[in-house]
Amino acid sequence: MHILITGGAGFIGSALIRYLIKNTDHQILNIDKLTYAGNLESLVEVESNPNYTFQKIDICDAAAIEQSFSEFQPDLIMHLAAESHVDRSIDGPSEFINTNIVGTYTLLEASRKYWQSLDQHKKSQFRFHHISTDEVYGDLEGTIDLFTELTPYAPSSPYSASKASSDHLVRVWYRTYGLPIVITNCSNNYGPYHFPEKLIPLVILNALDGKALPIYGKGNQIRDWLYVEDHAKALYKVVTEGAIGETYNIGGHNEMQNIEVVKTICHILDELKPQSNNQSYEELITFVEDRPGHDLRYAIDASKIKNDLGWTPVESFESGIRKTVEWYLNNLDWCRRVQDGSYQRERLGVKT
């Protein structure tokens, strides 16, 4: 099949592409605007594969999208392109509205026109897979409640509101126009090639540099952590086997308080890369003022994808976080190039 992936230079998108290139014979087209979070160095190991192609395209550019569809003739669309950092959305929501809402609309319209032009067989095989987040549900008050596919939407940030909006648009294009869609809402991802502003890589790299490990509030916010390679497998399962019009929640079955996550990373680093002063990295933990509207708890009920499609995560948090810390220790050059911006300057043809 021909699979068009938007946002394939991002964290989850690049993991998905690496998985598909290594484990299938599909033709993959990666469309990415290459904003600050888009890093083609995350795809170095597959970039020379004949089944992989990259195009620098903004999903808000309707003409470029339509031309790409016409040339590539996709069988499946997997839409991951999005602005995704909550703090950035609070400081500057306009990019989130533009990319996550207007961009999704533009992609849906291009997909609808393309799908309607196909012959009956190709039309029956086509799927538009929208990859979203559990943050659209808001947060959970109880300690045992879980997000299901029927949980009402109650977003808490400009980011989650923009993703909720895009989810609604995708469902409308199915109900109104018949576009064959599937939607997935995932919990917090972690793993190799994660952008360093996110919690887990930020803690790892700050610790190695002897910098403060900032924790919002008391660090008692609970998240369900999903190893990114498990997520990639789930996405492929949904787009190839999921029922049209359905939503599937994807979770890691790993609920942890943020403070527990940080302390776990510190303990692994104490073992693998002890400080010269023999102090624990925990000594670097610093509590900072909580972010506005910070959700307290996310937790996914992933029983539907297990029962309907047979998917469950392979990695526990203990195994996945150890793999993640080891990857960062072994790939500090990649991290430093992101931190100092050289990955962007070289991409733009500026010598470093």
The residue from 134, 224, 255, 295 that is catalytic is 134
Contacts for 23-26 with beta carbons within 8 Å, 24 or more apart?
24/236, 25/51, 26/1, 26/2, 26/51
Residue type present at position 130: H
DSSP state, 292? T
Q: How far is CA 258 from CA 93, 286, 287, in A?
A: 25, 13, 11
Residue 109: active-site member: no
Token pair 């090639």 is at which residue? Answer: 193
Biggest distance spanned by C-alpha atoms of the chain: 69
Q: Which residues contact 336 (CB under 8 A, 6 or more apart)?
A: none
User: What is the end-to-end Cα distance of the chain in Å, rounded?
Assistant: 39
Residue whose C-alpha is closest to residue 86's, from 160, 168, 11: 160
Residue 248: active-site member: no
The residue from 19, 52, 105, 159 that is catalytic is 159
What b/e sequence results for 123-158 when a residue is b if at least 16 CB atoms lie within 10 Å of its CB, and e otherwise? eeebbbbbbbbbbbbbbbeeeeebbebebeeebbbb
The residue from 83, 135, 167, 315 that is catalytic is 135
Residue whose C-alpha is closest to residue 132's, from 147, 113, 114, 116: 147
Dihedral over Cα of 168, 170, 174, 176: its sign: positive
Burial of 22 (0-12, 13-18, 19+ CB in 10 A): exposed
CB 240 within 8 A of CB 234: no
d(CA 94, CA 107): 19
Residue 159: active-site member: yes
d(CA 147, CA 282): 32
What residues act catalytically?
Answer: 134-135, 159
